């Protein structure tokens, strides 16, 4: 199994249940969902002429559409070569669930890592039983993809971006449609603007949900 990767880096997880956890991020290339506020639009397309060697991928100093292809063993070997200390791996994108992530997560877990997937919920989640799945459901996006019941049921947490009351209404309708009542729900302001943050805070209090504020953006890390 080969995975198309936009970047691999070590940092702190800034969102959701694992906020503050040292983590290795694997950002996969490719996503057709089309979120208007996406902050990783450089991962949307997989252009064959932008494939680069792994060493060039690791040397990237800014966001780009360049990507490399790595096997499961290649990824695990790279972690050792880079002397990464974190034992938590976050697989994100792009849309990571366009890939079957079971081989990757199983291999990493067998080597002592915990795994987490961050997905839009618009593709079926194929992973190990132990993997922590964060569904950040994307409703009525440009790509026209629907949030799947399988993804909502597999989720360990629901982390929903919000800026307006409509976003809150969309989430409540989604939870009701898929009969999700036993998941931890996080609201995440789409920007650091006061209006979006206040909406998220008030809604969390009203519904006994939690706030996720993208700590990495406030402290200025990747």
| 115 labelled ligand-binding | no
| 175 labelled ligand-binding | no
- Cα–Cα distance measured from residue 38 to residue 218, given in angstroms and rounded to the nearest whole number: 18
C-alpha 35, offset from chain centre: 13
In the chain, DSSP assigns E strands to 2-12, 22-28, 68-71, 88-92, 114-119, 132-135, 157-162, 184-189, 210-211
The DSSP call for residue 206 is: H
- Return left, alpha or beta for 153; rule: phi > 0 is left, psi -120 to 50 is alpha, else beta: alpha
The DSSP call for residue 43 is: G
| 61 labelled ligand-binding | no
| 30 labelled ligand-binding | no
| 20 labelled ligand-binding | no
| 27 labelled ligand-binding | yes
Do the beta carbons of residue 148 and residue 124 sit within 8 Å?
A: yes
| 12 labelled ligand-binding | yes
The closest alpha carbon to 71, from 106, 34, 41, 103, belongs to 103
Do the beta carbons of residue 72 and residue 103 sit within 8 Å?
A: yes
| 137 labelled ligand-binding | yes
181-to-177, 185, 192 alpha-carbon distances in Å:
11, 10, 28
| 112 labelled ligand-binding | no
| 14 labelled ligand-binding | yes
| 37 labelled ligand-binding | yes
Tell me the binding residues for Mg(2+). Answer: 40
Tell me the binding residues. Answer: 12-14, 27, 31, 35, 37-40, 92, 94, 136-138
Tell me the binding residues for substrate. Answer: 12-14, 27, 92
Tell me the binding residues for [4Fe-4S] cluster. Answer: 31, 35, 38
Tell me the binding residues for S-adenosyl-L-methionine. Answer: 37-39, 94, 136-138
């Amino acid at each position: 199994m080969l995975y198309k990767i936009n970047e691999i880096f070590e940092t702190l997880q800034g969102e959701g249940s694992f906020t503050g956890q040292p983590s290795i991020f694997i950002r996969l290339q490719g996503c057709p969902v089309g979120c208007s506020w996406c902050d990783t639009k450089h991962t949307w397309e997989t252009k064959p002429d932008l494939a680069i060697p792994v060493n060039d991928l690791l040397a990237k100093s800014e966001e780009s559409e360049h990507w490399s292809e790595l096997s499961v063993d290649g990824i695990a070997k790279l972690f050792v070569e880079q002397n990464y200390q974190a034992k938590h791996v976050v697989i994100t994108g792009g849309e990571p669930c366009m890939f079957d992530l079971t081989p990757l997560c199983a291999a990493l877990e067998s080597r002592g890592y915990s795994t987490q997937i961050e997905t839009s919920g618009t593709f079926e989640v194929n992973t190990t039983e132990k993997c922590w799945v964060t569904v950040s459901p994307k409703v009525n996006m440009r790509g026209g993809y629907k949030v799947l019941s399988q993804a909502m049921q597999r989720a360990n947490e629901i982390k929903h971006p919000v800026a307006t009351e409509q976003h809150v209404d969309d989430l409540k309708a989604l939870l009701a449609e898929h009969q999700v009542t036993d998941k931890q729900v996080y609201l995440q302001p789409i920007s650091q603007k006061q209006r979006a943050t206040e909406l998220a805070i008030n809604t969390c209090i009203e519904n006994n949900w939690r706030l996720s504020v993208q700590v990495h953006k406030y402290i200025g890390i990747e």
